[in-house]
Amino acid sequence: GCRTLSLSAHVGFDSLPDQLIKKSIKHGFCFNILCIGETGIGKSALVSSLFNTDFEDSPSTHFLSSVRLRAQTFELQESNVLLKLTVVKTVGFGDQVNKADSYQPIVDYIDAQFEAYLEEELKVIRSLFSYHDTRIHVCLYFISPTGRSLKTIDLLTMRSLDSKVNIIPVIGKADSISKTELQEFKKKIMSELVSNGIQIYQFPTDDETVSEINTITNGYLPFAVVGSMEKVKIGNKMVRARQYPWGVVKVENENHCDTIKLRRMLCTNMEDLKEKTRAYYESYRRCRLEKLGCRDTGPENKPVSLQEVIEAKRLEFCLEMERKEEEIKQRFVQKVKEKAAMLEEAEQQASMPVLTKFERLMLMHQEEELKLGEKKKLLEAEIAQFIEKKAIAESIQSQVSNPVSLK
């Protein structure tokens, strides 16, 4: 423990929070929301309503064979705060006939973001300062407004996620439930969550300035939300609302739905959500490193174990590199040999007298002449033979036709 000293005059380090804030503003903030819910339950409409901005998104089909996740990043600015907001939505959740594996892609996605951060953290040369943090800070789980109870898939999914992410359950399309039914529904949901041991995010109550409002808000969970992409003219203003023949549901009216409460709670507890996400990350990291074989067996072993792993991998990699290098070298040597042989052959051919076209033709001509000369000789020989044969034949014939008296 250190002794506390009193200052005799103003020093000026009370500007530290401002210095830190100035840097954070320059750097910008980021926030990542994951929306899980069935197709058509109003995820896109709610996000647009929460941030009062129309985030473009095409509606998806019901016929996807497996659950996928779609992520979009937006830059929002309010006064001097620049927020990089990433909204990840499930696509095709609850559409399959067999929903057994529905939650797996979601778990995998959340883990993948932790993994990406861990990889960056473990790099030798890393840039954590400028790393775009994609870890999910809050998960809005959309419950169907059946008015009855949670579905099995809801329980399964939330249970698989509650140790990895902050879960805020919301009732989607809540304008289809009456107020009294809603109260009963909320109570039922909360008791089911408790009895199934599912941990949902509780708004922090340790700070006195917010503990009261947070305790009250915790009592409104799950939030009954209504979202709308359309605006309706009420009086002389355009407000986000849903127009029915029997009335208009105003998204931003706290009597009509809890959308504004959700918005307020998300915004004023962003820092706490991020802090709790960091804690989830630490758990993930711990598991992951333990799986890799690192242990905190004692004060001496701490750096060595992780470093040993890194060292071992580095050696492995160096050996692999050496092997590859050798391989490439061999291939290079081979190629050089081949090329050398090729060049040698070409050189040999080149060292033969190079004949011009004319000379070639002359050669050809001479060769032809020789050949013709030979053929001519042959022909002349044949002709001579023929004449001889003819002469003999004629003389025989004349002897036959003109018998010569023998005296």
Partner 1 sequence: PHAGPVESKNEAAMSELVPEPRQKPVVPMKPMGINTSLLGYIGIDTIIEQMRKKTMKTGFDFNIMVVGQSGLGKSTLVNTLFKSQVSRKSSGWNREEKIPKTVEIKAIGHVIEEGGVKMKLTVIDTPGFGDQINNENCWEPIEKYINEQYEKFLKEEVNIARKKRIPDTRVHCCLYFISPTGHSLRPLDLEFMKHLSKVVNIIPVIAKADTMTLEEKTEFKQRVRKELEVNGIEFYPQKEFDEDLEDKTENDKIRQESMPFAVVGSDKEYQVNGKRVLGRKTPWGIIEVENLNHCEFALLRDFVIRTHLQDLKEVTHNIHYETYRAKRLNDNGGLPPMTVETEENHESNL
Report the site for partner 1 in 330-349 (rule: CB under 8 A): none
Name the nearest CA neighbour of 168 among 142, 134, 196.
142
Alpha helix stretches (DSSP H) within 8-151: 16-27, 43-50, 103-122
Q: How far is the CB of 126 from partner 1 (least distance, A)?
A: 7
Map the footprint of partner 1 across residues 21-50, applying CB under 8 A: 21, 23-26, 29, 50
Q: Is 70 in the site for partner 1 (CB under 8 A)?
A: yes
Selected from 58, 65, 77, 98, the binder of partner 1 by CB under 8 A is: 77
Name the nearest CA neighbour of 221 among 274, 159, 143, 276.
143
Given the complex with partner 1, which of 129 and 358 has the nearer CB atom? 129
Q: Is 213 in the site for partner 1 (CB under 8 A)?
A: no
Secondary structure element (H or E) that encloses residue 90, with its range: strand 81-91
Selected from 40, 55, 96, 190, the binder of partner 1 by CB under 8 A is: 55
Which range binds partner 1 by CB under 8 A, 117-125, 141-149, 191-199, 329-337? 117-125
Q: How far is the CB of 276 from partner 1 (least distance, A)?
A: 11
Q: How far is the CB of 111 from partner 1 (least distance, A)?
A: 6
Selected from 39, 113, 166, 228, the binder of partner 1 by CB under 8 A is: 113
Q: How far is it, in rounded angstroms, from Cα 171 to Cα 252?
A: 16
Residue by residue, DSSP assigns 10-50 as: --SGGGHHHHHHHHHHHH-EEEEEEEE--TTSSHHHHHHHH
Q: Is 15 in the site for partner 1 (CB under 8 A)?
A: yes
Question: Are β-strands 167-171 and 138-143 bridged in parallel, bridged antiparallel, or unpaired?
Answer: parallel
Name the nearest CA neighbour of 221 among 190, 194, 260.
190
Name the nearest CA neighbour of 174 among 216, 136, 220, 139.
220
Map the footprint of partner 1 across residues 357-386, applying CB under 8 A: none
Taking residues 190 to 209 in sequence order and writing x for each that binds partner 1 by CB under 8 A, - otherwise, the string is -----------------x--
- Whether the Cβ atoms of residue 132 and residue 109 lie closer than 8 Å to each other: no
Q: How far is the CB of 297 from partner 1 (least distance, A)?
A: 10
Token pair 């160096």 in the structure block, residue: 318
Given the complex with partner 1, which of 181 and 316 has the nearer CB atom? 316
Within 10 angstroms of residue 172's Cβ, the number of other Cβ atoms is: 26
Given the complex with partner 1, which of 125 and 354 has the nearer CB atom? 125
Q: How far is the CB of 165 from partner 1 (least distance, A)?
A: 15
Map the footprint of partner 1 across residues 214-273, applying CB under 8 A: 263-264, 267-272
Question: Are β-strands 68-78 and 29-36 bridged in parallel, bridged antiparallel, or unpaired?
Answer: unpaired
Given the complex with partner 1, which of 72 and 196 has the nearer CB atom? 72
Map the footprint of partner 1 across residues 270-329, applying CB under 8 A: 270-272, 275, 278-279, 282, 285-286, 288-292, 294-296, 300, 302-304, 306-307, 310-311, 313-314, 316-317, 320-321
Q: Is 148 in the site for partner 1 (CB under 8 A)?
A: no
Which structure tokens are listed for 288? 């992951």
Given the complex with partner 1, which of 46 and 150 has the nearer CB atom? 46
Contacts of 360 (CB under 8 A, 6+ apart): none
Alpha helix stretches (DSSP H) within 138-269: 152-161, 179-195, 208-218, 259-268
Q: How far is the CB of 182 from partner 1 (least distance, A)?
A: 25
Q: Is 211 in the site for partner 1 (CB under 8 A)?
A: no
Q: How far is the CB of 57 from partner 1 (least distance, A)?
A: 10
Q: Is 8 in the site for partner 1 (CB under 8 A)?
A: yes
Length of the chain: 407
